[in-house]
Chain A
C-alpha cells in the first residue's frame, strides 16, 4: 500500500513538473486566440528605429494611422530611436521589469540575448501559419503578403534554432561608393568587382603629396583615400570571403585565428600610411567623400542618400562639396568570381504578453508593416530593399527603379543603384550565426580593426606580441571567454534543467525504496 501511495505521489510530482513545462512552452510559443477581439481597447507600444530621417518617421506614422483605421480599437504608441544599440539596451533593462514594448525593430543577434530572459520574445511560427490571422490570412483586414511572398533568405535570417522570432522589415547591404574621377586621375579604371588589392593599391597611390604638402590627387591638405563605416562588417566580410573561421553556429568563438592576424597586418600597413581609416577614428565616410577627401567610402546601402556630390542629404557645408562622379559597386572581394556581402537591416519582433489579444494585435501590426504600401514607402527613403516579393515585383517598384537618376531626390541615382546592388546579389549575401553573445562577438570583430588602426597611427609595432595583446584585450573587453564553448549548456532552458533535475530526483527516490525493500527482504530471510 505504501509503495502504491509513493508511486502515485511520484507520478503526480512528475506530471506536475511536465505540466509546468508544457504551460510555459505554450505561453512563450503563444496560442493564437480563436477570434480577434475588435471591441475591447488595446494599446500596443512600438519601438521604432529610423536613420534620423523624417521620411522614415512619416512612413512609420502612416503605418500607424493606416492600421488604426482598420482596427479602431487598437492604439499604437510609437517611441523613436536612431540607434540600434540604445534599443537593445533599453529592451534588456525592460525585460527585468517586465515592461518590454509589444513590437520592436531589432536585429536577430539582439533577439538571441533577449531570449535568455524567460518568456520574452514570442515565437511567430504558429502566428505565421494561422489560416485566419497568419501571413495573408483570411481574417486579416488588409492585403498582407503570404509566407511564400517573403524573400526566403530574409525570412531565414529571423530563425533562431527551430523557431522564427522576427519578421524581416527592410534589408540592406554595404556598398563601395567611389569617386571615379580620382581613380581615373590616378591612372586606374574601376573594375566591375573591385578587389581588396585594387582598393589598397589605389589608396596608397593617392597618398602622394606635392612640395607644399598638398595631396596631388585632390590638391587639398586632407585626404583619407579609404574609409570604412562599420569595421564589424569589414572584419566579418573579409573572413567570410576567405572562408575563414569566425564562430560556430553553437557559439564557439573562432575569430582569433591566423587569417584574422594576416588581415590585421595588412590593415595595419594602410592605417600607418593613413591611406585607410574608420568612421570611429575619423568620422562619416560620406562627409569626406563629398568633400573630395576620400576615394573609397564603404557604408550601408541604407546610407546612400548621403553619398555623392549630388546627394540629397548633406552633412557638410555646401561650399565644401567637390563635384565628382559617384560609382556604386559591391564591397571589395578577395575572389570576384564568388562575391560575398553581408545582409543587414531591421527586423521586427513581438514580445510575449499575458493578454493574448495584445499579442495578436501586435502581430497584425507587424504584418501591416509588410504590406506593399509600407514596404515601398520605407524602402524608397533610402537604399533599402523591400523584403517581400509582392513589393519587389510590383509595378510601382519596377517603375521606381527604372527612373534612377531622373532627379536627385526620390530617384537619386546612387540610392537606386545601391538598392539594385542588393537586389541583384541577394544570393551572394550572408549573415553570421546568431547566439547569446553573437552581438558581442560582432562588436569585438570591429574592435580588432579599430585598435589595429589606432596602434598603427600611434606608432606601435605590429608583431606577434601586438596581436597577442590585442586578442587578449578584445576578448576580455567583450567577455568572449565567457561565451566560447559554453553555448550548448547555456541554451538549455531553465524548464529543461528543472525537468532533468526532477527525473534524477525520482530515480534517486526509487533507488532508495528499492534498497530499503531489498534490506527488508534480507532481514525477513
Chain B
C-alpha cells in the first residue's frame, strides 16, 4: 500500500512539473519571435541598451542581442532597486511576456524578467541611411541605428509662418522646463523625415537634448538612436553631431 501511495505521489509530482514547464515558453530566436502572432507568449534573451525612466513601478527597455535583433519592452513591472540593475547598459536579461503591436511598434508587454550572468554587450549602431524611406527599414525596428549626412529641415507651428529647426512637443506646445520631447525634421534625397528626442529616454539634462536645441536649419548632421515605430518610422534619437554647419 505504501509503495502504491509513493508511486502515485511521485507521478503527481512529475505531472505537476511537466505542467509548469509546459507553461514556460522556451527562449526564442529573432526569427521565432517575428513568426509569433500578436498576443502570443514570447521569451527572448538580449542585452539592455537603454531605458526610459523608471516610473510608477514600471520601466521601458531597448534591448538588442549579439545578432543585432532589437526588442522594445513596454512598461515592465520592477522595483526601483531592480530598475537600477536593469538600467546598466550591457546587462543580459531574459524577458518573458506577450508580443503586442501599438501604432505599428512591435513590443513585449506584461513582461517578467530575469537578470542573467553574462559579459556585458553594448551594440554599435548600424548605418541605415540608405534604407530611409524604404519598406525594408521596418525589418530593423527597435535596433540601434545611425543615419548620416542628413540636412536639418524647417519645422513649422500651425498658423504661423515662422520656421524652426526643432519644436518642443510635436506642435511646439512644450518647453525645456517641462522636459518636453523634441521633434525635428531632417531631409535626405528630397524627402523629409521626423525624428524625436524622447525625453524619458534622453531628457533636458542630456547632451543630445542640448545639441538638438542648438541645431540650425540647413545643418548637416549624423544621428544615432533606436528605430522606434509610431505609425511609421519614428527614431528615438540619442546622439546628434553637426558635421557641416549651415551656411551663415
Contacts and interface: CB of A to CB of B under 8 A. Distances in A.
Partners in one complex: yes
Contacts of A53: 171, 173
B173 A56 contact: yes
Interface in A440-465: 454, 457-458
A343 interface: no
A195 interface: no
A50, A54, A56, A89: most-surrounded residue (chain B CB, <10 A) = A54
Contact of A81 (B40, B178, B231): B178
Contact of B170 (A52, A56, A457): A52
B74 to A, nearest CB: 10
A80 interface: yes
B72 to A, nearest CB: 15
Given A81-B178, A458-B39, A315 B231 contact: yes
B39 A80 contact: no
Contacts of A287: 103, 231
A79 interface: yes
Contacts of B187: none
B173 A79 contact: no
Interface in A303-321: 315-317, 320
A180 B213 CA distance: 45
A486 interface: no
B171 A52 contact: yes
B31 interface: no
B133 interface: no
Given A54-B172, A56-B173, A283 B102 contact: yes
Interface string B157-174: 110000000000111111
Contact of B173 (A50, A89, A283, A454): A50
A57 interface: yes
A53 to B, nearest CB: 6
Contacts of A81: 178
Given A52-B170, A317-B232, A458 B178 contact: no
A282 interface: yes
A85 interface: yes
A281 interface: yes
A283 B55 CA distance: 21
A85 B56 contact: yes
A316 B229 CA distance: 12
Interface string A27-71: 000000000000000000000001011101100000000000000
Interface in A369-383: none
Contacts of A54: 157-158, 169, 171-173
Contacts of B98: 454, 458
A282 B173 contact: no
Contacts of B172: 54
Contacts of A458: 39-41, 98
Contacts of B169: 52, 54, 82
B4 to A, nearest CB: 31
B239 to A, nearest CB: 25
B110 A317 contact: no
Nearest to B173: A54
Interface in A233-285: 281-284
Given A53-B171, A56-B173, A89 B110 contact: no
A50 B102 CA distance: 23
A82 B232 CA distance: 23
A457 B100 CA distance: 11
A80 B232 contact: no
Contact of B231 (A80, A316, A457): A316
B175 interface: yes
B178 A79 contact: yes
11 contacts: A50-B173, A52-B173, A53-B171, A54-B169, A56-B173, A89-B56, A282-B102, A316-B231, A454-B39, A457-B39, A458-B41
Given A287-B231, A316-B231, 15 more contacts: A50-B173, A52-B170, A52-B171, A53-B171, A54-B157, A54-B173, A82-B169, A281-B102, A282-B102, A284-B103, A315-B231, A454-B98, A454-B110, A457-B39, A458-B39
